[in-house]
């Protein structure tokens, strides 16, 4: 029996963590993510969840706690936001290099300055090269679903990598949405208990993270790269199995909305896809052939799926809710990846970046209309005016 | 374009995450001889030494060895960090420039 209730993104994550029966949770407060720890600590205190709840003295320690616990064989959960994510930066590579499938929730928060609490994806995206599975949820429902899916993907013996389970701070973390909470038996069928290769065993002690010889470095890195690349078919399989058990069918990597006859599309990751859909409905009523392409995983980057999807259109507007100063094409972090994905395509769309939602601002309907207007001009004139537009600044 | 995983020859594959069986065997290896990094050599004055083992437990590289009636230093791997000298309660470990010895910096096969 499934029941629908209103949950915030963090509430939905906490429910999923509880149903996944995690063993060790480590916390350190920073808003907005910290709400999930508030709920989980209550669950542990009330005896609803049998887990070790460890309060760390900072994010570096927080991640180190779950690193050790995961190496010992526990299913682990932690999280952070903004500068908390960057404070723990050193720990990410050892965790993925140690092949410990830790799950970390990131509810995005803008880095300092400007000392804004709003959602910008830069905090999580800075960690994209650390060997962690990474993806954004759009709604509290998807947060619930991703939490379960990420555990299953990360713990798969063919992958065994940690996961950044990201969603926009406030827009998803704190705004309630309708969530179908699954039955525990469905979760148990979907997510078997974690079986580590080397659980703590006094009969067979092992050393983790040993000093290696120089010729072993390239091999270990290639093995970690293979784990990440090998995750692509595993994700496809897990997402399909999720649909079978829970009845909610997601595309594994790329969600398309009103793209069948679209000339141009918004390319987006995360919560603002919600506003984009409304904008598209209005724009369609006015006769504009506009659609939406939403990416669900940033790592592994689904190169083939992006190439297949975006090469169908005449123009693509990459909506960047992140900043990377001085990056190639002077836009955000997603644009170079989108461009590179299309490099081998026989037919390539025109691409422009739209720097939007920076400092954690909302992306308003008007801004989506502006983006659509610029993309339409590109399509009509068959040439691109400039590579980057800064929303809220351009007239 | 099709993307594939990297083909790693079987004989090069390592255990996942490079995990090793513990405890590591008490042995020496010849792939990385760190004694050549040393600038100051620890020299133990056996007359002063009380065999308290402070240096033995402190050495980060396991280079201090317990002998019959004196402490010894494994100079093949000692990097000369000086921790043994710093913790010695009776100041029995001196730090002597490597070049003061015959064939100083003995493990440096050629100058850079």
Q: Convert the pLDDT of each residue in A178-201 to its tens digit.
A: 999 899 999 999 999 999 888 888
Residue A327 contacts residue A336 (beta carbons within 8 Å): yes
Task: Locate the domains of chain B by residue range.
Answer: 32-100
Assess contact for A67 and A98: CB atoms under 8 A.
Answer: yes
Chain A interface test: which of B5, B18, B60 (most A C-beta within 10 Å): B18
Q: Which ipTM score applies to this complex?
A: 0.78
The pTM of this model reads 0.87
- Taking one residue from A and the other from B, the number of pairs with CB-CB distance under 8 angstroms is 69
- Domain annotation for chain A: domains and CATH numbers: 3-246 (3.40.50.970), 254-390 (3.40.50.920)
Measured between beta carbons, which residues in chain A are less than 8 angstroms from residue B16? 99, 160, 197, 223
Average pLDDT over residues A315-339: 95
Convert A64-93 into a string of H (helix), E (strand) and C (coil).
HHHHHHHHCCCCEEEEECHHHHHHCHHHHH
DSSP per-residue letters across A174-189? TS-EEEEEPPHHHHHH
Is cis: bond before A191, omega within 30 of 0? Answer: no
Please answer yes or no on whether B8 and A226 come within 8 Å at the CB atom: yes
Averaged over A124-140, what is the pLDDT?
Answer: 97
Average pLDDT over residues A336-365: 94
Query: What is the distance in angstroms between the Cα of B29 and the nearest Cα belonging to chain A?
Result: 10
- Could you read off the pLDDT of A146-159 as tens digits, one per residue? 999 999 999 999 99
Q: What is the pLDDT of residue A188?
A: 97
- Nearest-Cα residue of chain A relative to residue B15: A220
Of B6, B12, B21, the CB nearest to A225: B6
Q: What is the mean pLDDT of chain A?
A: 95
Residues of B in contact with A304 (CB under 8 A): 1-3
Q: Which residues make Cβ contacts (< 8 Å) with residue B19, sequence separation at least 6?
A: A197, A198, A206, A207, A208, A210
**Which residues from B are below 8 Å from A213, CB to CB?**
29, 31-32
For B32-100, the fitting CATH number among 3.30.360.10, 1.10.357.10, 3.20.20.70, 3.30.70.20 is 3.30.70.20
Nearest to A258 by CA among A283, A230, A295, A241: A283
Asked if A212's CB is within 8 angstroms of B18's CB, the reply is yes
Confidence of residue B100 (pLDDT cuts 50, 70, 90): confident
> At CB < 8 Å, which residues of chain A contact B?
97-99, 160, 197-198, 204-210, 212-214, 216, 219-220, 222-223, 225-226, 229-230, 232, 303-304, 307, 344
Is A220 close to B18, i.e. CB distance below 8 A?
A: yes
E strand map for chain A: 3-7, 24-27, 52-55, 76-80, 103-108, 133-137, 163-168, 177-181, 206-207, 254-257, 264-268, 290-295, 315-320, 350-355, 388-390
Q: Which two tokens stand for residue A129?
A: 């090269």
Contact residues on chain B for A97, CB-CB shorter than 8 A: 17
> Cα separation of A101 and A92, whole Å?
11
B6 contacts on A by Cβ (under 8 Å): 222, 225-226, 229
Interchain CB distance below 8 Å, A207 and B21: yes
Mean pLDDT across B81-95: 96
| Beta carbons of B24 and A214 less than 8 Å apart | no
């Amino acid at each position: 029996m499934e029941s629908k209730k209103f949950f915030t993104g963090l509430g939905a994550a906490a429910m999923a963590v509880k149903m996944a029966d995690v063993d060790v949770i480590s916390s350190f407060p920073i808003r907005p993510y910290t709400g999930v720890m508030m709920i989980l600590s209550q669950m542990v205190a009330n005896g609803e969840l049998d887990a070790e709840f460890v309060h760390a003295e900072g994010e570096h320690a927080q991640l180190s706690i779950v690193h050790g616990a995961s190496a010992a064989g526990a299913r682990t959960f932690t999280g952070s936001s903004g500068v908390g994510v960057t404070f723990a930066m050193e720990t990410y590579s050892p965790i993925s290099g140690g092949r410990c499938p830790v799950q970390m929730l990131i509810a995005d928060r803008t880095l300092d300055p400007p000392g804004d609490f709003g959602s910008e994806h830069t905090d999580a995206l800075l960690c994209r090269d650390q060997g962690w599975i990474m993806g954004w949820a759009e709604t509290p429902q998807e947060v619930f679903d991703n939490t379960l899916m990420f555990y299953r993907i990360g713990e798969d013996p063919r992958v065994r990598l940690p996961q950044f389970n990201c969603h926009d701070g406030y827009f998803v973390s704190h705004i309630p949405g309708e969530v179908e909470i699954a039955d525990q038996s469905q979760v148990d069928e979907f997510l078997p208990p974690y079986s580590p290769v080397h659980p703590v065993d006094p009969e067979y002690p092992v050393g983790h993270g040993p000093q290696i010889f120089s010729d072993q470095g390239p091999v270990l890195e290639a093995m970690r790269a293979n784990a990440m690349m090998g995750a692509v078919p595993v994700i496809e399989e897990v997402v399909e199995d999720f649909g079978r058990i829970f009845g909610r069918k997601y595309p594994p990597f790329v969600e398309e909305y009103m793209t069948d006859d679209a000339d141009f599309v918004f390319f987006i990751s995360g919560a603002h896809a919600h506003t984009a859909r409304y904008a598209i409905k209005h724009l369609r009523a006015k006769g504009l052939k506009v659609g939406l392409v939403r990416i669900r995983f940033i790592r592994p980057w689904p190169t083939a799926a992006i190439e297949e999807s975006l090469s169908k259109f005449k123009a693509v507007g990459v909506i960047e809710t992140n900043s990377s100063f001085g990056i190639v094409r002077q836009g955000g972090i997603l644009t170079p990846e989108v461009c590179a994905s299309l490099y081998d395509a026989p037919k390539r769309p025109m691409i422009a970046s739209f720097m939007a939602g920076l400092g954690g601002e909302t992306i308003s309907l008007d801004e989506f209309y502006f983006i659509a207007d610029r993309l339409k001009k590109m399509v009509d004139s068959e040439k691109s005016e400039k590579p980057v537009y800064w929303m809220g600044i351009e007239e | 374009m099709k993307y594939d995983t990297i083909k790693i020859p079987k004989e090069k594959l390592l255990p996942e995450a490079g995990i090793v069986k513990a405890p590591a065997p008490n042995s020496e290896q010849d792939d990385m001889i760190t004694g050549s990094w040393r600038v100051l050599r620890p020299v133990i004055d056996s007359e002063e030494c009380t065999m308290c083992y402070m240096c033995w437990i402190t050495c980060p590289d396991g280079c201090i060895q317990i002998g019959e009636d004196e402490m010894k230093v494994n100079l093949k791997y000692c990097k000369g960090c000086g921790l043994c000298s710093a913790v010695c309660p009776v100041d029995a470990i001196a730090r002597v420039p490597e070049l003061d010895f015959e064939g100083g910096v003995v493990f440096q096969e050629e100058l850079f």
